[in-house]
C-alpha cells in the first residue's frame, strides 16, 4: 500500500461540515483514497454507525472489503484533536491514517496520526 501524502481539500471540507452538523455528538467515518492511491479523497459512511457525545462507533462486520479504505476520521467536540486511549485501539485495528478534528472544526483544528498514534504531516491538496 503506497504512502498517503495528503487529503483533497473537498474531502477535508466535507469532514469539517459533517463534524459541525453532528456537534455536540462525535462524527465518524472511514477514509478512502478513491481512484488516487496516495491521496485521501472520499469518506465512507457505514450503516448503523452510532454517534454519541463521548464516542462514535461502528460494526466492523458492516465495513466493505475495500483496499482503498486507509483509516478513520472522527471529531472531538471537546476541541482537543489528540487521540484518547480508545482512539489508540481503533487506530491499531483500522488502517494506517487517522484524522481527528476538534471543535470549532476549522482548517487549523485537525491533526493526522499514524496507526501508532504518532502525529504525521498531511498535505491539503487543492
Cα 70 from Cα 81, distance rounded (Å): 19
Dihedral of CA atoms 118, 57, 43, 20 in degrees, nearest 10, equals -90
6-8 and 39-40 strand pairing: parallel
26 is an active site residue: yes
Instruction: Give 51's contacts (C-beta < 8 A, 6+ positions apart).
Output: 22, 25, 26, 27, 28
Tell me phi and psi for residue 60, to 5 degrees. Answer: -55, -30
Q: Report whether 2 contacts 70 (CB < 8 A).
A: no
| Catalytic residue selected from 26, 85, 106, 123 | 26
Q: Which residues are catalytic?
A: 26
Amino acid at each position: 500500500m503506497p504512502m498517503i501524502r495528503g487529503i483533497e481539500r473537498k474531502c477535508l471540507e466535507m469532514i469539517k461540515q459533517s463534524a459541525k452538523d453532528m456537534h455536540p455528538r462525535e462524527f465518524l467515518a472511514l477514509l478512502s483514497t478513491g481512484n488516487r492511491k496516495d491521496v485521501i479523497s472520499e469518506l465512507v459512511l457505514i450503516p448503523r454507525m452510532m454517534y454519541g457525545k463521548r464516542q462514535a462507533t461502528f460494526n466492523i462486520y458492516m465495513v466493505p472489503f475495500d483496499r482503498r479504505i486507509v483509516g478513520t476520521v472522527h471529531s472531538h467536540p471537546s476541541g482537543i484533536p489528540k487521540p484518547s486511549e480508545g482512539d489508540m485501539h481503533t487506530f491499531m485495528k483500522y488502517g494506517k491514517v487517522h484524522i481527528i478534528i476538534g471543535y470549532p472544526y476549522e482548517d487549523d483544528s485537525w491533526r493526522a496520526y499514524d496507526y501508532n498514534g504518532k502525529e504525521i504531516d498531511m498535505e491539503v491538496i487543492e
